[in-house]
Amino acid sequence: MRKKTHALFKQFNKYIQKISKSGNNRQFKPVCFMLLGIAVILIAISTEITTESNVIGVAATSYKTSWLGNSFGGGNKWVQNNIKAMYVAPNGTVYTNSPWDEAGREAGIYKDGNVIGSADDTHGWSRSGGKAVTANNKYIYIALTQGHIDRKDQDYPPKGTTWYTVRRYNLSGKPAPFSKGRGWDKSMLIISNKSEITGLATAANELYVSDSPTNQIRVYNSETMEELRNFSVVQPGAIAVDKQANLWIIHNGNQISCYSPTGKQLSQPITSIAKPSAIAIDHQGRLLVADNSQRQQILIYNIKNQPVQVGTFGIKGGVYAGTPGEIQPLKLYGITGVGADSAGNIYVNSNGFNNSGTNLRKFSSSGKQLWELHGLLFVDNADADPKTDGVDVFTKQEHFLMDYNQPTGKQWTYKAYTLNPFKYPQDPRLHTSPDATFVRRIQGKPFLFLTDMYSSFMQIYRFNPAKDGKIAIPAGMFVGTHGGGEKSIRGNWPPHQPNKGEWIWRDRNGNGAFDQGEYDQSKDYPYLGGWWVDSKGDVWKTLRTQDGIRRYPMQGLDKHGNPIYSYSSMQKQKTPSMFTDLRRIEYFPETDTMYLSGFTVDHPAIGDDTKVVGSEIIRFDNWSKGNSTPRWRIVVPHDTTGKREIATASMSVAGDYVFAVTFKTAEVYVYNATTGATVKTLKPGPEVAGESGWIDIPQGIRAFRRSNGEYVVFVEEDWKGKVIIYRFKS
């Protein structure tokens, strides 16, 4: 269009020159006026076309899809979340079990650093995985929980009953039924109605099951699944079978004892391990025990006679040794699985300390890391450190380094695990479920602010590299008023919290613990719409009322480096009149621009879906001067039928654009921040198999503009354990 306009100008110019040369001034004068008017119109059109061309240019610009936090992008390959149990076969096949994986891979199968399968039908129909897994040369056996389903035509537990079962599969992950099997496909062996199975192992043609509620080891024929015998062990857990077919069992909390297959205790128990969490036998017949205490090591025992510790594997102190939090191959953390193959290789799964994710590693016997697999994120989103131009990226417990020049899915390096449960046992991340991160710089120093799925709190973390390395130190917390008038957070944590109302906690003595005298207390409307932290460190909160905006100006940093906030400095602001239910807020002090979202008089809510942004996003300029007249209003996808199939879950503003992501389809709508016009839509590309889970959290999208003009957009994707990344330049 711009080329055509330029060509028209050239033609008119030639015509003017022709008339001028002819000397016909009477003809020239009116033509000049006519052409001048046309020129003005064309200039206006040209300007409009140029502006529109920029928008169209952005819309036409291709974008790239990538991801972080998982070794694979999706489709048939993803690493499951939260592995609680692991068994390694002699050939190096790794069988795993998790209580829950959003996409249904509770029981995964891995080999040579690759996903090679999973056990079928562990998800849905009131089924979930568990804490035990084993295999022999014919079958896989997993602990599986089966809850009630009202299907009288099939074999499900009666109402009010839960089955804790061993479910049998062939080695390809297909259910392997047996004559007296239970469940809809007759592949389940019911062990208990009281509590889950805590250990599984096989030897010869026998299957050993830890039935902790009854203090029994139950022994079954691994083919017929008939019970052969049982014997007493106090609170039995994980089991390993040595080369003499004797059983080594973690029991009674922190003891490890050896039993014959018939239940005779054979040696003195090992009682010196503070927190044994997993157990295995290596190719030399030695006992490997994961110590999940502050040691964070694998302890190695010679068990030919009485067990004698002969070595360790991994760096003592794990991820907290050296530079605390820094990820290195031999720094373990949150160990839930250990195993060994016939070639002497050792396998370790680290899970973190808040069911945060999977870090599965294979090592040679000398300690060289051979491969690792990651499934680190679940109900989580990322944000970029503004000072490092998006190179440093944080999730609620992980720190990644980005190299945007690397291939898709390979741009991130897992740099640090930022939670230390031993030094900071009251870290809110150990007691709550935060799910999205704001990274902010206050007085040049980095801080993390974390919110949760229900916008009930805002957690604050600081860093002190000299003393704590990469660890995020609890610094503060905002909590809303409980709707029922009770304590804001039920239970015994945090200590000393007010009995009612809302509160702000600040770590006034710098020890990262919730101590008496560290709370500022108030009471406000209990139903929150959203949180925001601006570039100055001011905290904003929306209440779903007409008096619904709260601003907590950052009052500086205390002597320990904690941001100071108080109710005495809090500012109340009225909700603009067009809103009936205010949900999200993003304020930019540099331009004095406010973006609000919620349901409006023109587009009211149907029902009460608390997780969505509402029906409109509205921009206000000169906000601090009291302006409540919108610059523009965007009607975003929202529910108009009551079926909740269409809704917008989250919004984020960066640079020249406003980004909003839909709840179920996970489509990102990009709007021009100046005009409110729709620019483009981002959808999961082939790099992530064109798929995404639902957006479950209020901060499910976070956008960042890098110094080179590139936009990096992070979107929660908990279905297959990652964060999707969109990249484009305008």
Q: Is the pLDDT of residue 51 over 50?
A: no
Q: Is the pLDDT of residue 99 over 80?
A: yes
364-405 residue pLDDT tens: 999 999 999 999 999 999 999 999 999 999 999 999 999 999
The number of domains in the chain is 2
Q: Is residue 325 part of a domain?
A: no
Does the structure show a pLDDT above 90 at 9?
A: no
Mean pLDDT for the stretch of residues 554-573: 98
CATH number of domain containing 420: 2.130.10.10
- Asked whether the beta carbons of 697 and 455 are under 8 A apart, the reply is no
pLDDT digits (tens, 9 = 90+) for 13-35: 443 343 333 333 333 333 333 33
pTM beyond 0.85, yes or no: yes
C-alpha R_g of the chain:
31
CA angle 668, 669, 673 (to 5 degrees): 130
Q: Is residue 219 part of a domain?
A: no
Q: Give the residue from 18, 41, 60 where a domain finishes.
A: 60
How many C-beta atoms lie closer than 10 Å to residue 479's C-beta?
A: 23
Lowest mean pLDDT, pick from 7-11, 103-107, 445-449: 7-11
Q: Which amino acid is at 321?
A: A
In sequence order, which residues have a C-beta less than 8 Å from that of residue 268 and are 6 or more positions away? 306, 307
Chain-wide mean pLDDT for the chain?
92
Does residue 352 surpass a pLDDT of 50?
yes
Q: 522 pLDDT band (50/70/90 cuts)?
A: very high
Q: Among 10, 31, 60, which residue terminates a domain?
A: 60
Q: What's the pLDDT at 15?
A: 38
Altogether, the residues listed in the chain come to a count of 730
What mean pLDDT comes out for the span 614-633? Answer: 97
**Contact (CB, 8 A) for 368 and 62:** no
Q: Is residue 69 part of a domain?
A: no
pLDDT of amino acid 644: 87
Range of the domain at 35: 2-60
Residue 84 maps to a domain:
no
Domain presence at residue 573: yes
Does position 54 have pLDDT exceeding 70, yes or no? Answer: no
Q: For position 609, what pLDDT does the model report?
A: 85
Q: Is residue 272 part of a domain?
A: no
Whether residue 525 lies inside any domain: the answer is yes
Instruction: Look at phi and psi of residue 580 and say left if phi exceeds 0, alpha if psi is from -120 to 50, else beta.
Output: alpha
Provide the pLDDT for residue 356: 75
The pLDDT score that the predictor gives to residue 152 is: 82
Looking at residue 177, its amino acid is: P
Of 60, 88, 105, which residue constitutes the final position of a domain?
A: 60
Residue 331 within any structural domain of the chain? no
End-to-end CA distance of the chain: 19
